[in-house]
Amino acid sequence: MRSRCARRGTLLSLAMLLTASCIVYGQGNSADMVQQHIKKAEQALRASDLKVAEREYNEILAIDPQNSQAWTGLGILLYGSGRSDQAIESLQRAISIDASDKRAEIFLGLSEAELRQCGQAKPILTRYFESETPGKLQRLIGLALLGCAAGAADPMPALQTAARLKQLYPDDVDVLYESAELYTRLWNESAGELMVKHPDSYRVHQLAGEVYEAKDEYDQAIREYSLALENNPKLPQMHYRIGQLYLHQGSEEVDEKAMEEFRQEKKVNPQSAVSDLAMADIEMHRHKLDQAKPLYEEAARLDPSLVEARVGLAKILLEQHETEAAEKELLAVVADHPENAQAHYSLMRAYRELKKMPEAAAEMATFNRLQSEKAEKFQSKMNSLLNGKLAADQTKTPAEETSPK
C-alpha cells in the first residue's frame, strides 16, 4: 500500500501533463463549445482540481461521444484518482474508436495491473516497458509490471524487471522498496524450501544462526554456527562470525575466545583479510603493537580496499612516533576514502605531532563535519522509519487493526 500511494502521487502529476495536451482542438460539430471545455479542463488540472477536470471531460464527451482523445484523457484522470475500474471502461472506449492510441493502451495496462488483472496487463506492460524511453511513464510501467510478475510461479521475469528498474532508476524509493519486497519474498520461499527438504543440513544451521544474529540473540547464533561447523568444518565465515559474536557479548576473556575463532577462520580461509583485521584490532586494544602491526599489514595486502586496516596501521605508526610515515599513509587513505572520519582524525593527530596546526585544524573540522553528517543521516533514517510506521498505522482500518497476525 505504501508504494502504491507513492506511485499514485507521481502518477497524478504525469496524468495532468498527459491529459492537458491530449485532445485535438475543434473536434466535432460544436467545436467552440468543445474548446471552452478543454480550456476549463486544463485550468482545473493545473489547479489539481480533478473533480472539475473530470466534469469537463464528461461535458466534452456529451457533445462528441466519438472523441477518442477525450476518452483517453478521462481514463488517465480516473486512473490517477484511484478508480482503475472506471478508467478501464474509458480507455477501452478510446481504443475502440482509435486502436492506434498508444496512451490509452498504456494506461489500460496500468489500470488492469492495479486491479491485479495481470493476464491482460502483462503483455501490454512488457511491450511498452521495453519500448518507452526512460522517464516517469516508463518507471510507472516498470513498477506495475514488477507488481504483476512478483507473484508468478517463475521468479525470473520479476528479477529481470527489478534489475532493469534498478539500473535505470538506482536511487528511486519505490524501485528500491518494490525490489526489497521481491527479494524478501524469494528469500522466505527459498529458506522455507531449504528447511523442508534439508532440515538437518549445515545450511539450515547457518541460516538459523543468521536469523538469531540479526535478532541480537548471540548465544543461540553461536550455537547454530557451531552446529553448522560440526557438519561442515571447512565452511568459510563461520569462525569469523562466531568471533565477532564473542566480541559483541563483552564477557570475561572474550578477546582470547574471539582470537581463537579468527585463527581457526584463517586455517579454513587463508585469504580472510577481515580476520586479520579483527585480530589486529584486538592486539591494538591490548596495546600489543608489535603483534598488531603485521596483522594490519596482512589485512591491507589481502584487501587493499579495507580502509580500516590502513588506518589501524597509521595509528600504530603514530604510537611508535613514526609520525611522518603515518602522515604519508593517512594522506593516501584520505585521497582514496575522503569520507572516512577516522582517517581524518588520525591525520589531525599526525599534523599536531608535526606542529602543522592549520592543517590539523582543517582535519579536525572535516572530522567534525563527517561525524555530524553521519548523525544526521542516522536520525533522518530513524525519522523516516518511524514516520513510515506511523503513517501505515494511521491508514489501517479497524478490521486490519484487530485481525490476527
Please provide residue 217's backbone torsions phi and psi, each rounded to the nearest 5 degrees. Answer: -95, 80
Residue 222 lies in a domain: no
Look at residue 26 in the predicted model and tell me its pLDDT.
47
Confidence of residue 383 (pLDDT cuts 50, 70, 90): low
CA distance 208 to 225: 8
In this structure, is residue 330 part of a structural domain?
Answer: no
Q: Report if residue 109 sits inside a domain.
A: yes
User: How far apart are the C-alpha atoms of 95 and 103, rounded to whole Å?
Assistant: 10
Cα dihedral angle (190, 192, 198, 199), rounded to 10 degrees?
Answer: 150
What pLDDT, on a 0 to 100 scale, did the predictor assign at position 168?
A: 93
Strand ranges, E, within 250-346: none
All residues at 6 or more sequence positions from 11 whose CB lies less than 8 Å from its CB, including other chains: 79, 80, 140
Q: Containing H/E element for 80?
A: helix 68-80
Residue 386: band (very low, low, confident or very high) from pLDDT cuts 50, 70, 90 = low
- Average pLDDT of the chain is 86
Q: Is residue 7 pLDDT above 50, yes or no?
A: no
Residue partners of 359: CB distance under 8 A and separation at least 6: 351
Owning domain of residue 145: 2-192
Query: If you search the block for the grid coordinates 499514485, which residue do you land on?
Result: 8
Position 44 confidence tier, pLDDT thresholds 50, 70, 90: confident
Closest CA to 124 of 134, 135, 111: 111
Is residue 199 in a domain? no
Confidence of residue 329 (pLDDT cuts 50, 70, 90): very high
Give which of 61, 56, 47 is closest to 16, Cα–Cα: 47
Any domain includes 150: yes
User: Alpha-carbon distance 152 to 239, whole Å?
Assistant: 38
Task: Return the SS3 of 339.
Answer: coil
| Residue 332 maps to a domain | no
Domain count for the chain, please give it. Answer: 1
Confidence of residue 4 (pLDDT cuts 50, 70, 90): low
* Contact (Cβ atoms closer than 8 angstroms) between residue 309 and residue 340: no
Residue 392 has pLDDT above 60, yes or no: no
Average confidence (pLDDT) over 86-94: 93
- Which residue is listed with cell 461535458? 59
Which runs of consecutive H residues, i.e. helices, occur in 132-272? 136-149, 156-168, 173-197, 202-214, 218-231, 238-249, 254-268
> Each residue of 249-280: b (16+ CB within 10 Å) or e?
eeeeebbebbbebbebbbebbeebbbbbbbbb
Give me 296's grid cell: 594490519
pLDDT-derived band at 398 (thresholds 50, 70, 90) equals very low
pLDDT at 249: 83
Task: Give the containing element (helix H, strand E) for 357.
Answer: helix 357-394
- Position 223: which residue type? R
Residue 270, H or E segment: none
Residue 36 pLDDT: 83
Query: Do 231 and 201 touch, CB atoms closer than 8 A?
Result: yes
Query: In this structure, is residue 402 part of a structural domain?
Result: no
Q: Is the pLDDT of residue 268 over 70?
A: yes
Residue 6: is its pLDDT beyond 50? no
Residue 15 included in any domain: yes
CATH number of the domain at 171, please: 1.25.40.10
Q: What is the dihedral of CA 30, 34, 37, 38, to 10 degrees?
A: -170
d(CA 377, CA 358): 29
> Does pLDDT of 391 surpass 70?
no
Q: Are 140 and 7 in contact (CB under 8 A)?
A: yes
Q: What is the pLDDT of residues 179-192, one digit of tens each?
A: 999 998 888 888 89
Q: Would you give the DSSP letter of residue 29?
A: S
